[in-house]
């Protein structure tokens, strides 16, 4: 058992998609916790229990009823309202809901208030690190909500999070994730343009990356995506459709708070072009495709 483990606790995990499936697995295997899972497609829950043990439930309420902490990793605002709302109706007072979905800060504040009214705690806790980070248990987790509730749940999140940080009150986790997506969008577009330029210039792109990756241009995206972009490989998990959903949340928030995001808005439209080329399920580094078609 990993050194992140605490005494075994009864937890629920709702949503077993690309991210949730391995995250719930780390709670069971690394943490040694008693995990009950729910997924709208029951076959995924069956596959999870076949691999990791634990139990599955037919509804969010059934999964959450006896849990001390309920984790959530679903699609968008309406999914959080539906799944968390149903689960909270069955929870015992004092239970913590930790939402790993990427949604609006507004819905996180809404759910935190609903939880407070019911004697519960709601933490917005989006993650960064993609499918590989989830599978390897090295995600970055940014958390908004009650500080004492965070302190209680942080050791569990450490089962799959290399960095787990409390960012402030309800909504602060989602706002931090928005900053993350703004930065990634700009970095990937710059990287795509750089790699396309290297090809047009007749340079050995892989050699270029080896050289400039040791200087000021270095980034995680360059280390992990530049050479695969040059090779036309775009199947690394975080899909264009998901990025457009996230950037839509960012741009809505910017309209509310007055932030000016010209590059982010432009890159969002570039991703729309990739979708128009049929690249909905390609990963976010596929910005390269619109420059080399």
Number of C-beta neighbours around residue 277 at 10 A: 13
Residues 6+ apart with CB under 8 A from 7: none
Angle at 169 (CA atoms; ends 163, 175), nearest 5 degrees:
65
Average pLDDT of 127-138?
94
User: Cα–Cα distance between 264 and 142 in angstroms, integer?
Assistant: 21
Instruction: Quick: pLDDT tens for 38-91.
Output: 999 999 999 999 999 999 999 999 999 999 999 999 999 999 999 999 999 999
Nearest Cα to Cα of residue 191 among 293, 291, 277: 291
* Percent of the chain with pLDDT strictly greater than 90: 95
The b-or-e profile of 69-93 (16+ CB within 10 A means b, else e) is bbbbbbbbbebbbebbebbbebbee
Q: DSSP E strands: which ranges in the chain? A: 10-14, 34-38, 55-56, 69-72, 96-99, 121-124, 127-128, 139-144, 161-168
Give pLDDT, residue 1: 35
Q: How confident is the model at residue 136 (pLDDT cuts 50, 70, 90)?
A: very high
Q: What are phi and psi of 91, to 5 degrees?
A: -80, 150
CATH H superfamily, domain 10-169: NAD(P)-binding Rossmann-like Domain (3.40.50.720)
Instruction: Quick: pLDDT tens for 206-252.
Output: 999 999 999 999 999 999 999 999 999 999 878 999 999 999 999 99
Number of C-beta neighbours around residue 214 at 10 A: 9
User: What is the chain's alpha carbon radius of gyration, rounded to the nearest angstrom?
Assistant: 20
Instruction: Quick: pLDDT tens for 166-217.
Output: 999 999 999 999 999 999 999 999 999 999 999 999 999 999 999 999 999 9
User: Cα–Cα distance between 249 and 49 in angstroms, integer?
Assistant: 33
Q: Which fold has domain 176-290?
A: 1.10.1040
Give pLDDT, residue 6: 60
Burial of 132 (0-12, 13-18, 19+ CB in 10 A): middle
Catalytic entry in 44, 177, 214, 245:
177
Give pLDDT, residue 236: 85
154 token code pair: 């942080």
233 catalytic, yes or no?
A: no
Q: Is the pLDDT of residue 13 over 80?
A: yes
Arithmetic mean of pLDDT over the chain: 96
- The distance between the two most distant Cα atoms of the chain, rounded to a whole number of Å, is 65
Per-domain boundaries in the chain: 10-169, 176-290
Note whether 127 and 100 are within 8 A (CB). yes
196 token code pair: 């396309």
Domains 10-169 and 176-290 share a fold: no
């Amino acid at each position: 058992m990993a050194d992140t483990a605490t005494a075994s606790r009864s937890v629920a995990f709702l949503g077993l998609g690309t991210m949730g499936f391995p995250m719930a697995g780390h709670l069971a295997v690394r943490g040694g916790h008693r995990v009950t899972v729910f997924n709208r497609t029951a076959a995924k829950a069956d596959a999870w229990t076949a691999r990791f043990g634990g139990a599955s439930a037919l509804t969010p309420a059934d999964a959450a009823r006896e849990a001390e902490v309920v984790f959530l990793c679903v699609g968008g605002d309406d999914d959080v309202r539906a799944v968390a709302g149903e689960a909270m109706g069955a929870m015992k007072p004092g239970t913590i809901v930790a939402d790993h979905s990427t949604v609006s800060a507004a819905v996180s504040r809404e759910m935190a208030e609903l939880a407070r009214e019911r004697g519960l705690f709601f933490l917005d806790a989006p993650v960064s690190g993609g499918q590989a980070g989830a599978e390897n248990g090295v995600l970055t987790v940014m958390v908004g909500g009650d500080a004492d509730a965070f302190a209680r749940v942080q050791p569990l999140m450490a089962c799959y999070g290399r960095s787990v940080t409390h960012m402030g009150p309800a909504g602060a986790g989602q706002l931090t994730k928005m900053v993350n997506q703004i930065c990634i969008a700009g970095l990937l577009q710059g990287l795509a343009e750089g790699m396309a330029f290297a090809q047009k210039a007749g340079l050995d792109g892989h050699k270029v990356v080896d050289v400039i990756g040791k200087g000021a241009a270095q980034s995680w995206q360059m280390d992990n995506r530049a050479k695969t972009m040059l090779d036309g490989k775009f199947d690394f998990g975080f899909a264009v459709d998901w990025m457009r959903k996230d950037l839509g949340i960012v741009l809505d928030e910017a309209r509310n708070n007055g932030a000016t995001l010209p590059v982010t808005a432009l890159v969002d439209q570039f991703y729309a072009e990739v979708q128009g080329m049929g690249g909905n399920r390609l990963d976010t580094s596929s910005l390269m495709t619109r420059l080399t078609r």
